[in-house]
Amino acid sequence: MAEWLLRNETEWTREKIVAAMNRTSEQMVKLKQPVPVFIIYYTAWVDNDGNLQFRDDVYKHDAELAAKMFDQRPATPVVKVDNMKGNEQQ
């Protein structure tokens, strides 16, 4: 990926990229053109053979997602009005 990102940077040869990647400390490189990066975290998916795969949720995101997906409470309170009696019930 580094080679592709730096392909238009003439000072970044393949050898220089490999050397930078093998350093024991990180090196920041500012790209001339920003590149959007999307990080996707899956704990369940279907593989190429059609088998359902599961992995541990090491970042503990599944509980929050499940609460948002399966919470049966309405997003806003429901107010019922009995027009015959003129009183409100919740």
Pairing verdict, β 80-82 and 87-89: antiparallel
* pTM of full prediction above 0.95: no
Q: How many domains does the chain have?
A: 1
Inside any domain, residue 31 = yes
* Residue whose C-alpha is closest to residue 3's, from 39, 25, 29, 23: 29
Identity at 11, one-letter amino acid code: E
Inside any domain, residue 44 = yes
Which pLDDT belongs to residue 16? 95
Confidence of residue 55 (pLDDT cuts 50, 70, 90): very high
DSSP H stretches of helix in the chain: 2-5, 14-21, 62-70
Which pLDDT belongs to residue 3? 94
Higher pLDDT, 29 or 71: 29
User: What's the pLDDT tens digit per position in 14-50?
Assistant: 999 999 999 999 989 988 888 998 999 999 999 999 9
Inside any domain, residue 83 = no
* Residue whose C-alpha is closest to residue 62's, from 48, 43, 76: 43
Residues spanned by the domain of 61: 2-70
Inside any domain, residue 57 = yes
